Each structure stands twice: as C-alpha cells, then as structure tokens.
Amino acid sequence: MDAETGEVVPYAPYAFSGRHTQVDKARVEAITESKAFTPSQKFLVLWWIGVSPEGLEPLRATGADIGRRVGMTADAVGKINRKLAKHRILIIRGRIGNYNFYRISPYISFHGTGIEQREAVKTCNPPNIPGFDESTPARWEAK
C-alpha cells in the first residue's frame, strides 16, 4: 500500500532465488585488488558475504564445518578467519570454548534494513583494508 496515496502497489518478486544482501562495492573491490590478501583469503571473504546470517548473528559453524563446505582444511580456515578478523573484515559474534563464531563485517555486507545496518556498524570498528580510501568511490561506478 502506498503511504501517500493509499493505493495498492503491485508486488514484484525478485527474479532470483534466496536471500539478498547489501554489499559495499568499494570495500569488496579494495579487498579483491589488495596484495595483502591471498586468493584463498579473498575467496573466503566472498563465501562469508554469502553465508553470514541476517542482522549481526554469527554463523554457527566450526572451522571443520566450513572447511568441508569450501574444500579447505580446518587449519587453513582457522588461519584465514583469524587474519580476516585481525583486519576486522570478519567480526567475532560468539564463542564456545576456544572457538570463535564469526560473521562478515556490516561495513562490508549486511542482510537487513538500512536502519538496522546503520545501527550494526555502530557496534564495531570499520575494517582495516590495506589501500582502501573511504573517500574514493569504487573505480567502476558510473559517474
């Protein structure tokens, strides 16, 4: 229903399957072009963008669980996750024993409303992406 006119607005579903997320293109571009990250680390950033739950919930999966899903060892996943967390690309959102539960930073990707994302970024510091300049838009954006 249109708030101003009161008319019924037709529903137009997305022509895509599954959930959708908002992504900061400039930050993702900076990560993928950075020499500070290996191809495996960049791959896991993309994976985390796709699997991080709604809001600020963590993905409740161990390194072994993730490794089976992406074809890496649990040790490799753990090492990559720790490096991405050090750069605040991943944020720690829970812990069981000595295992941290992660999710992608809401500065990079978020599944929720714009208002929810604005509140989410207040809970963590921006990612430290070598070479990223927040004042410079993504290189391939239309001008």
User: Model confidence over 10-55: pLDDT tens digits?
Assistant: 765 556 666 678 899 999 999 999 999 999 999 999 999 999 999 9
**In the predicted model, is pLDDT for residue 143 greater than 80?**
no
Give the model's pLDDT for residue 140.
59
Amino acid, single-letter form, for residue 132:
F
User: Residue 114 — very low, low, confident or very high, per pLDDT cuts 50/70/90?
Assistant: confident
Based on DSSP, count helices (H) and strands (E) in the chain, helices before strands: 5, 4
Contacting residues for 140 by C-beta, under 8 A, at least 6 apart: 29
Helices assigned H by DSSP within the chain: 25-33, 39-51, 63-70, 74-86, 114-121
22-23 and 109-110: which strand pairing?
Answer: antiparallel
Give the model's pLDDT for residue 72.
97
For the entire predicted model, the pTM comes to: 0.82
Residue-range domains of the chain with CATH: 22-121 (1.10.10.10)
* Average pLDDT score over the chain: 89
Give the model's pLDDT for residue 137.
64
- 23, 112 contact by CB (below 8 A): no
